[in-house]
């Protein structure tokens, strides 16, 4: 029973183009969403987050969009750089008792020079 789903295991993008990573969730109690980035043999690193009261949050090249009605969020990276190649995890947490984030399975992004 996956409450947070990242349906694309991998994504390949050319350097300079936009990378769009998608995430769907099923639990309507989730009200805070996070993206983590993970390099091989390292732990996940927090990237960006968004509260359910917003529909967009931007930090430099990274923007997260939230569509609550569709229970869908996406991470946009513009422009993509080879150093962005990593596994990206979507996570969701809720104040309704389940404040510990639930993680998706991750999407492996490869940015080609």
Partner 1 sequence: NAGVMQNPRHLVRRRGQEARLRCSPMKGHSHVYWYRQLPEEGLKFMVYLQKENIIDESGMPKERFSAEFPKEGPSILRIQQVVRGDSAAYFCASSSNRGSNQPQHFGDGTRLSIL
Q: Is residue 100 near partner 1 by the rule CB under 8 A? A: yes
CB of 16 to partner 1, least distance (A): 29
* Cβ-Cβ contacts under 8 Å for 79 (sequence gap 6 or more): 15, 16, 17, 18, 61
> Could you give the CA distance from residue 93 to residue 24 in angstroms, rounded to a whole number?
13
Contacts with partner 1 in 32-91 (CB under 8 A)? 32, 34, 36, 41-46, 49, 51, 89
> CB under 8 A: which stretch of 12-20, 27-35, 53-61, 64-72 binds partner 1?
27-35
- Nearer to partner 1 by Cβ, of 52 and 74: the residue is 52
Q: How many CB atoms lie within 10 A of CB 51?
A: 10
């Amino acid at each position: 029973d996956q409450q947070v789903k990242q349906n694309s295991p991998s994504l390949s993008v050319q350097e300079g183009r936009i990378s769009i990573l998608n995430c769907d969730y099923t639990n309507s109690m989730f009200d805070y969403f996070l993206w983590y980035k993970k390099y091989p043999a390292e732990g996940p690193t927090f990237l960006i987050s968004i509260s359910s009261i917003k529909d967009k949050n931007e930090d430099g090249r990274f923007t997260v969009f939230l569509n609550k009605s569709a229970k869908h969020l996406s991470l946009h990276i513009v422009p993509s750089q080879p150093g962005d190649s990593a596994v990206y995890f979507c996570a969701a947490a809720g104040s309704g008792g389940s404040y510990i984030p639930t993680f998706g399975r991750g999407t492996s992004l490869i940015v080609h020079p």
